[in-house]
C-alpha cells in the first residue's frame, strides 16, 4: 500500500474512532447504560487507536543513527 492509501485509511479509522467516542458518551449518559456494551465499544476504540498508530508508523521512514 502506498503512502496515500495509508493516509486515507488512517483518516477513515480516525472518523470511526470519533464515532465510537460519541456512541460511548451517549451510552454513558443514559441512566440504563449497558456496561458490557460500553466496555466492548471502549475495547474496539482502543484497537482502532492501536491500528492508527501502526499505520502512522509506516509513514515515518526508518532512520539509522
Q: pLDDT tens digit string along 1-29?
A: 789 999 999 999 999 999 999 999 999 99
Tally the C-alpha atoms within 13 A of residue 29's C-alpha that lie toward its C-beta. 6
pTM comes to 0.84
Number of domains in the chain: 1
> Does some domain include residue 26?
yes
Q: Which residue segment(s) compose the domain that 45 sits in?
A: 3-59
> Does some domain include residue 64?
no
- The distance in angstroms from the start CA to the end CA of the chain is 26
> Does some domain include residue 30?
yes
Contact 55, 13 (CB under 8 A): yes
> Does some domain include residue 65?
no
> Does some domain include residue 37?
yes
pLDDT digits (tens, 9 = 90+) for 36-64: 999 999 999 999 999 999 999 998 877 77
Amino acid at each position: 500500500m502506498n503512502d496515500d492509501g495509508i493516509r486515507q485509511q488512517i483518516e477513515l479509522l480516525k472518523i470511526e474512532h470519533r464515532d465510537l467516542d460519541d456512541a460511548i458518551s451517549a451510552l454513558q449518559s443514559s441512566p440504563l447504560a449497558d456496561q458490557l456494551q460500553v466496555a466492548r465499544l471502549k475495547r474496539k476504540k482502543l484497537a482502532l487507536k492501536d491500528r492508527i498508530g501502526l499505520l502512522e508508523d509506516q509513514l515515518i521512514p526508518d532512520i539509522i543513527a
